[in-house]
Structure 1
Amino acid sequence: MKSGQKQRVGNHELEVTQMGLGGTGFGNLYQSMSDQNAIDTLGATQSAGIEYLDTAPLYGFGVSETRLGIALSNYDRNDFVISTKVGYTLVEKTSAEPHNAPFVDIPNLDAIFDFTADAAKRSIDESLERLQTDHVEIILIHDPDEGATLWDPGSDPFAVSHFDEVMNNVYPVLDDLRNQGVIKAVGLGMNQWQMLAEFAKAGDFDCFLLAGRYTLLEQEPLESFLPLCLERDVRIIVGGPYNSGILATGAIEGAKYNYGDAPEDVLERVRGIESICDRHNVPLQAAALQFPFGHPAIATIIPGARSVEEIQTNVSYFEHHIPADFWSELKHESLLGETVPVPA
């Protein structure tokens, strides 16, 4: 596989590279990074042929977009495809309570949900200002379930739903901008697939950012959701290909799975995958990054990176040759289902 190879997104001519850059690291996820480090990281991204950049107002409460804007000012904006998001509005923080968000060194702001038409328009304008650009290619509607399944993927995916507000208020705004040519693609970004399936049936969407739900460890969307996406000509941006950690670190003590400590059954499964990786000289990370591309609905993956070294490492894993026998043995050992599609 090649990180710079391009795939079409949705119904339009827009293409994204098979590997993109997730923007949470630029928002100081778990640790700070400098503006110069962001500039250097973006340079390494460009050198690797990676042209797709994803960010959001929520990431660092504006820090990710601001830092990406600073970095972009050192390069040709037209060399990149950018997606950002609407749904969270940044407001002054009035409470003395510390943030529960996993970002550090962030402004004294809060992020509140607002799925009104005016909020969507205002959010786009503010994002453009932070990004120091006059356009973005893709707008995604962010967490219309208020992230209800983020910490517990097994919880009711419809326990909190802004579905009607999105379709009545936000979607018409974005659809109009797309029709005018102001943006090129419209989608949603969530940590679950069930509500995305309902959106796919209700509107004309180009892409969905699905975080953590179609990975080497999880293929639940395979039966009904991904076929629906192909039917509706919706392409998938895979976020969280490492399931928030364990597919990058392996089954070590304290390994993270879906933002919590990995349970023993997941640790045992990853140990089994690691054994097969060792036999075939395949890094676990390479298998994790390449696996989603067995399915034709997948357009791109967006692992985060906060340094030149991390970009280079991700590219190395993505382009590592994986023999067909590796995937066959995963199926033989029941670590993948027999009908799960794998990369050719």
Structure 2
Amino acid sequence: MALLTTKPNPANATVRPHAWLGSQLSFGGAPIGNLYESVDDASACATIAHAWRQGIRHFDTAPYYGYGLSESRLGAALNEMPRASFTLSTKVGRLIEDDAQQTKHSDGFIVDGRRARFDYSRDGVLRSFEASLRRLHTDHIDVLLLHDIGAETHGDQHAAILRQSLDEALPAMAELRAQGACKAIGLGVNEEAVCLEVMPHFPLDVIMLAGRYTLFEQQHSQAVMAQAQQRGVAMLAAGPYNSGLLGGANGPGNFYNYAPADEATVARAQRFYDVLARTHTDVGAAALQFPLAHPAVASVVCGLRSIAEVDQAAARMQAPIPDQAWRALRDAGLLEDGVPTP
């Protein structure tokens, strides 16, 4: 299957080529890092290989995902494929360390004996990058992202971490790009505000923004999307189901922003199912295809855990969605004014 070689695009929008990116549906590697439930090595590798066979050509991961487990599994599976046939993104900002006492984690990764420690120093970035190359069995990364800076993650430490990111982490990443060790650099975050803080001070190639520019939610991304388009920054729209809220086949999931969703959030999600049911449209298909209509978006990054989920995502990307489905969502007030639709 050739997967979305043609980009859904609103009339009169300009599509910029992203030669460093493999496909418009990207494999999100957090689930194969044992996020919320364990996956065995064989199943994880079979899922990755199946994604490649289905035409998915960009694979995203991070040291943080399973404390190196996601990278190791991707490296093992993709080592069987020609390196030129896919692109990789990974992240820096945390160092993975052995810790025999670490048996429970509050972040959802079911992995014992390891821990992740924030480190945005120049040395930390270079050490993280070298470790990622080893786990991924590659000599270069296509897209290198600075992971999880921002006030929501770091609270009172945000100002100091932002300064260190601008002074040390991002310049070190730019040096790696200049050396050819990576092709593009940027941020991998969950919040708009820190993108807007960084963009005027450091030139970025790409931003991966998780959960903020989705079918369910656009209000916390309008400014960064406009800035990205103006500055020529490619956006990777991650978390298109908003932690599974819009990913169910028959109704909304019960999680939002990696936590249990409240009643009001689930009720709003149910409205998407009710509205789209009237046009016989799969909510998950609309959720995957919606972000790609924005001219700044290069790819949608969907977390995938199994062969069945890969097949479902591939089918959803190809599913026809009638124009009246998008009109119905606008009429119901479920899309922000002016956002482009396929």
- Whether these two folds match at TM > 0.5 is yes
CA distance, structure 1, for counterparts of residue 86 and residue 265 of structure 2: 37
**In structure 1, what is the equivalent of residue 140 of structure 2?**
135
Q: CA deviation at 1:107?
A: 4.1
Q: Identity over aligned residues, as a percent?
A: 35
**In structure 1, what is the equivalent of residue 77 of structure 2?**
71
Contact 2:61–2:89 (8 Å) recurs in 1: yes
Is 1:93 aligned to 2:99, yes or no?
yes
Contact 1:209–1:237 (8 Å) recurs in 2: yes
Contact 1:212–1:239 (8 Å) recurs in 2: yes
**In structure 2, what is the equivalent of residue 61 of structure 1?**
67
Q: CA deviation at 1:233?
A: 0.8
Indicate how the Cα distance of structure 1 residues 12 and 306 shifts in structure 2: closer, same or farther if over 3 A, else same: closer
Contact 1:83–1:136 (8 Å) recurs in 2: yes
Aligned AA for 1:337? E
**In structure 1, what is the equivalent of residue 329 of structure 2?**
330
User: In structure 2, the residue corresponding to 1:299 is in which secondary structure?
Assistant: strand
**In structure 2, what is the equivalent of residue 32 of structure 1?**
38
CA distance, structure 2, for counterparts of residue 288 and residue 259 of structure 1: 17
Q: CA deviation at 1:146?
A: 7.2
Contact 2:3–2:25 (8 Å) recurs in 1: yes
**In structure 2, what is the equivalent of residue 110 of structure 1?**
115
Q: Give the alignment partner of residue 158 of structure 2, picking from 157, 160, 174.
A: 160
Indicate how the Cα distance of structure 1 residues 10 and 38 shifts in structure 2: closer, same or farther if over 3 A, else same: farther
Aligned AA for 2:308? E
CA distance, structure 2, for counterparts of residue 35 and residue 6 of structure 1: 33
Is 1:3 aligned to 2:8, yes or no?
no
Deviates more, 1:187-196 or 1:172-181: 172-181
Contact 2:4–2:317 (8 Å) recurs in 1: no
Structure 1 unaligned residues grouped into runs of 5+? 150-155
**In structure 2, what is the equivalent of residue 121 of structure 1?**
126
Q: CA deviation at 1:160?
A: 2.6
Please give the per-residue CA displacement for 1:256-288, whole angstroms capped at 9, x wherever unaligned.
122223223222222221122211111110111
| RMSD of aligned residue pairs (Cα, Å) | 2.4
Aligned AA for 2:158? V
Deviates more, 1:329-338 or 1:57-66: 329-338
**In structure 1, what is the equivalent of residue 241 of structure 2?**
242
Contact 2:49–2:78 (8 Å) recurs in 1: no
Indicate how the Cα distance of structure 1 residues 48 and 178 shifts in structure 2: closer, same or farther if over 3 A, else same: same
**In structure 2, what is the equivalent of residue 152 of structure 1?**
none
Deviates more, 1:333-342 or 1:233-242: 333-342
Q: CA deviation at 1:76?
A: 1.6
CA distance, structure 2, for counterparts of residue 63 and residue 273 of structure 1: 35
Indicate how the Cα distance of structure 1 residues 12 and 3 shifts in structure 2: closer, same or farther if over 3 A, else same: closer
Please give the per-residue CA displacement for 1:171-227, whole angstroms capped at 9, x wherever unaligned.
111112212222100011111011111211111111111011111121124532211
**In structure 1, what is the equivalent of residue 300 of structure 2?**
301
TM-score, L = length of structure 1? 0.90
Aligned AA for 1:5? T
Indicate how the Cα distance of structure 1 residues 66 and 107 shifts in structure 2: closer, same or farther if over 3 A, else same: farther
Aligned AA for 1:49? G
CA distance, structure 2, for counterparts of residue 88 and residue 9 of structure 1: 34
Contact 1:4–1:50 (8 Å) recurs in 2: no
TM-score, L = length of structure 2? 0.90
Contact 1:9–1:234 (8 Å) recurs in 2: no
**In structure 1, what is the equivalent of residue 53 of structure 2?**
47
Is 1:195 aligned to 2:200, yes or no?
no
Indicate how the Cα distance of structure 1 residues 9 and 120 shifts in structure 2: closer, same or farther if over 3 A, else same: farther
Aligned AA for 2:78? L
Indicate how the Cα distance of structure 1 residues 282 and 302 shifts in structure 2: closer, same or farther if over 3 A, else same: same
Q: CA deviation at 1:231?
A: 1.1
Structure 2 unaligned residues grouped into runs of 5+? 8-13
Superposition misfits of 4+ residues, deviation over 6 angstroms: 6-12
CA distance, structure 1, for counterparts of residue 142 and residue 318 of structure 2: 26
**In structure 1, what is the equivalent of residue 340 of structure 2?**
341
User: In structure 2, the residue corresponding to 1:140 is in which secondary structure?
Assistant: strand
Indicate how the Cα distance of structure 1 residues 299 and 254 shifts in structure 2: closer, same or farther if over 3 A, else same: closer
**In structure 2, what is the equivalent of residue 148 of structure 1?**
153
